Amino acid sequence: MGCLARAKYPTMEYSAVETLKLLGFKPAVSREEVCCGGLLHLSGLMDFKALASFTGWNSWIASQHAQTVAALCDTCYCTYLHVFKELKGSGVKEEVEKALAKVGAKPAWNLKVFHVAEIYYKVREKISRLKKRDLKGLRVAVHHGCHYFKPYPEEALGKPESIRFLEELVETLGGQPVEYAEKNLCCGACYAASTFYDKDASLETTRVKLASMREAGAEVIIVTCPGCLSTLDEAPARLHPLPVVHVSELVGLMLGLDRLVEALPEARKVSLKPLLNL
């Protein structure tokens, strides 16, 4: 689930679990999950050994339910891949396993890791058959978060310079994805969440991103990461933010999860009115 999704956007957790059930999967979640540690590592506050320990614990928790992880957050997704790929040559694998064994945990380093958006894409025709709502030509700006396709481009669906699987999902749902110049630009979050903290650079990046979307005629933004959602949704009014929804929430709305609408905070209900009134 990831920290931000679970702590700040409970509708994201609800929609992910319920949509996966509706689509024929058997999702499992656990309150024993801990932070992936990704942002702490990127910020220089956590070394690789500690990061691998966090991932090792989470992989152990996950392996008790399945051999596949579906991440709701781009940073969580990237963290799993980073640890699994880099652990062999790091020299810390045995140390991590020994430390976790003291608390009865046995890491599962061979789990398959997907972003939940990839799963939706792979079963998009089934989503189309089951949908209760349609985007009715709504103009949608897609934002693939940096931590999905930039660190390990070989794992992403499509070429990093032109990823289009979310656009195809939007089209399946009856929406009209817009092409905008700054599609591959960061939302701005990482400038404000790292050791090179720069609020001005963060806001300027967000401004450019939003301006590019508006110029293309976008009415709503679809994101794959709760961090991107938070950054774009809570941008200062002077940046003229657009309504933002996570891909799991979008699929939930299309599949008729009305409780999702009821659970949205009032501010998001207002901002998402173009989407909710379909």
pLDDT tens digits, one per residue of 239-269: 999 999 999 999 999 999 999 988 998 989 9
pLDDT of residue 193: 52
Higher per-residue confidence, 187 vs 89: 187
Gyration radius of the chain's alpha carbons: 19
pLDDT of residue 196: 53
List the domains of the chain with CATH numbers. Answer: 3-115 (no CATH), 117-276 (3.40.50)
CA angle 234, 160, 218 (to 5 degrees): 40
pLDDT of residue 192: 54
- Which of 16, 14, 79 lies closest to 42 in space, CA to CA? 79
What is the rounded CA–CA span in Å between residue 10 and residue 158?
A: 30
Q: For residue 197, what pLDDT band results from cuts at 50, 70 and 90?
A: low
Q: For residue 195, what pLDDT band results from cuts at 50, 70 and 90?
A: very low
- Which of 128, 157, 147, 140 lies closest to 227 in space, CA to CA? 147
Q: What percent of the chain has pLDDT over 90?
A: 77
Beta bridge partners of 113: 69
Sign of dihedral through CA atoms 140, 145, 149, 155?
Answer: negative
27-31, 181-185, 198-202 — which is least confidently predicted? 198-202
Structural contact between residues 54 and 36, judged by C-beta atoms closer than 8 angstroms: yes
Say if residue 145's pLDDT is above 80.
yes
